[in-house]
Amino acid sequence: MDIGSFQAKNELSRLLSLAEKGERIFITRRGRRVALLSGVPEEAAPQPDVAAFRKFRKQVKRGPESIRDLIAEGRR
Protein backbone atom coordinates (compact mmCIF):
# COMPACT_ATOMS: atom_id res chain seq x y z
CA MET A 1 0.00 0.00 0.00
CA ASP A 2 1.33 3.47 -0.92
CA ILE A 3 0.22 6.59 0.93
CA GLY A 4 1.35 10.21 0.73
CA SER A 5 3.17 11.72 3.69
CA PHE A 6 0.46 14.30 4.42
CA GLN A 7 -2.26 11.66 4.40
CA ALA A 8 -0.08 9.31 6.49
CA LYS A 9 0.31 12.02 9.13
CA ASN A 10 -3.46 12.46 9.30
CA GLU A 11 -4.16 8.71 9.43
CA LEU A 12 -1.24 7.50 11.55
CA SER A 13 -3.37 5.64 14.08
CA ARG A 14 -5.14 3.66 11.37
CA LEU A 15 -1.86 2.95 9.58
CA LEU A 16 -0.26 1.68 12.79
CA SER A 17 -3.18 -0.71 13.25
CA LEU A 18 -2.72 -1.99 9.71
CA ALA A 19 1.04 -2.41 10.21
CA GLU A 20 0.41 -4.28 13.44
CA LYS A 21 -1.75 -6.73 11.48
CA GLY A 22 1.08 -7.36 8.99
CA GLU A 23 0.37 -4.77 6.28
CA ARG A 24 3.39 -3.04 4.73
CA ILE A 25 2.75 0.65 4.12
CA PHE A 26 5.04 2.69 1.89
CA ILE A 27 5.01 6.41 2.64
CA THR A 28 5.63 8.55 -0.40
CA ARG A 29 6.74 12.09 -1.05
CA ARG A 30 5.82 13.49 -4.46
CA GLY A 31 5.05 9.98 -5.67
CA ARG A 32 8.41 8.51 -4.63
CA ARG A 33 8.64 5.93 -1.84
CA VAL A 34 10.69 7.32 1.03
CA ALA A 35 9.74 5.19 4.06
CA LEU A 36 8.28 1.84 5.01
CA LEU A 37 5.93 1.30 7.93
CA SER A 38 5.63 -2.30 9.01
CA GLY A 39 4.94 -4.29 12.15
CA VAL A 40 7.61 -5.68 14.43
CA PRO A 41 7.47 -9.40 15.12
CA GLU A 42 6.83 -10.18 18.79
CA GLU A 43 10.11 -12.07 19.17
CA ALA A 44 12.12 -9.19 17.67
CA ALA A 45 11.20 -6.78 20.45
CA PRO A 46 14.20 -6.32 22.76
CA GLN A 47 13.84 -7.83 26.22
CA PRO A 48 15.69 -6.22 29.12
CA ASP A 49 18.27 -8.44 30.79
CA VAL A 50 17.42 -7.70 34.42
CA ALA A 51 19.78 -10.32 35.82
CA ALA A 52 22.76 -8.83 33.97
CA PHE A 53 21.81 -5.34 35.14
CA ARG A 54 21.62 -6.47 38.79
CA LYS A 55 24.99 -8.21 38.49
CA PHE A 56 26.52 -5.02 37.05
CA ARG A 57 25.04 -2.91 39.87
CA LYS A 58 26.67 -5.17 42.49
CA GLN A 59 30.07 -4.78 40.82
CA VAL A 60 29.97 -0.97 40.69
CA LYS A 61 31.14 0.76 43.83
CA ARG A 62 29.91 4.20 44.78
CA GLY A 63 32.58 6.90 45.03
CA PRO A 64 33.00 9.45 47.83
CA GLU A 65 31.16 12.18 45.90
CA SER A 66 27.67 13.17 46.90
CA ILE A 67 24.86 13.68 44.41
CA ARG A 68 25.17 17.44 44.94
CA ASP A 69 28.89 17.30 44.08
CA LEU A 70 28.18 15.40 40.87
CA ILE A 71 25.41 17.81 39.86
CA ALA A 72 27.64 20.82 40.57
CA GLU A 73 30.44 19.25 38.53
CA GLY A 74 28.09 18.68 35.61
CA ARG A 75 27.06 22.33 35.63
CA ARG A 76 30.61 23.61 35.20
Tens digits of residue pLDDT in 27-60: 999 999 999 999 987 776 677 888 888 888 888 8
Residue 38 DSSP class: -
Q: Which of 63, 1, 64 is nearest to 35 (CA)?
A: 1
Q: Confirm whether pTM is higher than 0.75.
A: no
32 bridge partner residues = 29
- CATH for 2-40+48-75 is 3.40.1620.10
User: What's residue 41's pLDDT?
Assistant: 77
Rounded CA-CA distance 56/42 in Å is 27
* 11 within 8 A of 3, measured Cβ to Cβ: yes
User: What's residue 67's pLDDT?
Assistant: 86
